[in-house]
Amino acid sequence: MGRLSAVGRPLSLVQVSITFAAGCVCDAPARAAWQPTKPVELVIPAGTGGGADQMARLISGIAEKHKLSPQPIIAINKSGGAGAEGFLYVKEKKGDAHTIVITLSNLFTTPLHTGVPFNWRDLTPVARIALDQFILWVNAETPYKTAKDYIAAVKERSGGADRMKMGGTGSAQEDQIITFNSSRRWA
């Protein structure tokens, strides 16, 4: 049985470093208007080891190494409820410039899926530092060479013990929502 998973196209360390450094040094007068007076919490609304966690820890390390902040940027994971715990934590810190969040599509999908009292409009976007590509992968030993091939097999085996299985980034994330809605549309 083929197994499908969704992954993003990672940016190289150089691309991320340049993007982050450019965001820190561009518009120096605006940047000079505020400097952190205590450690900055970089909230990761996901578990350890995933893309958001790796990106946040990379940013924190780059900021420390290149002395881009007079205070440390501390990456902390708050992963419960498909990211809801992290979003609600940041929402509660309204007006606290020392609390920021790094997020992915779950900024939009978590409230849609869970009904948590949070909306992406509760936060102010500061910068986009990376863009993930959504890619579907199958085991090389399966007969599926295109998305059309895979979708046809899913439709054919849509019920019972022989139905197709898919792995992804987590519950209530874009891969689950896309798969669920797509399977309903293609059925």
> pTM score, two decimals?
0.64
Where would I find the H helices in the chain?
Answer: 13-25, 28-32, 51-65, 84-92, 106-114, 147-156, 174-186
Residue 59 in tokens: 């940013």
Q: Mean pLDDT over residues 72-85, rounded?
A: 92
For residue 6, CA distances in Å to 74, 97, 135, 170, 173 come to 28, 34, 5, 10, 11
Q: How far apart are CA 24 and CA 29, in angstroms?
A: 11
Residue 74 clears pLDDT 90, i.e. is over it: yes
Q: How much is the pLDDT for 183?
A: 53
Residue 17 clears pLDDT 80, i.e. is over it: no
Mean pLDDT of the chain: 78
3-state DSSP helix/strand/coil percent for the chain, to nearest 5?
40, 15, 45
Q: How far apart are CA 177 and CA 87, in angstroms?
A: 19
| 124-139 pLDDT, tens digit each | 888 888 777 777 888 8
| 139-163 pLDDT, tens digit each | 899 999 998 898 888 888 877 788 8
Q: Mean pLDDT over residues 17-38, rounded?
A: 57
Q: How much is the pLDDT for 171?
A: 66
Give percent of the chain with pLDDT exceeding 90: 33
| 42-71 pLDDT, tens digit each | 999 998 998 889 999 999 999 999 999 999
Closest of 4, 5, 11 to residue 132, by C-alpha: 11
Q: How much is the pLDDT for 32?
A: 57
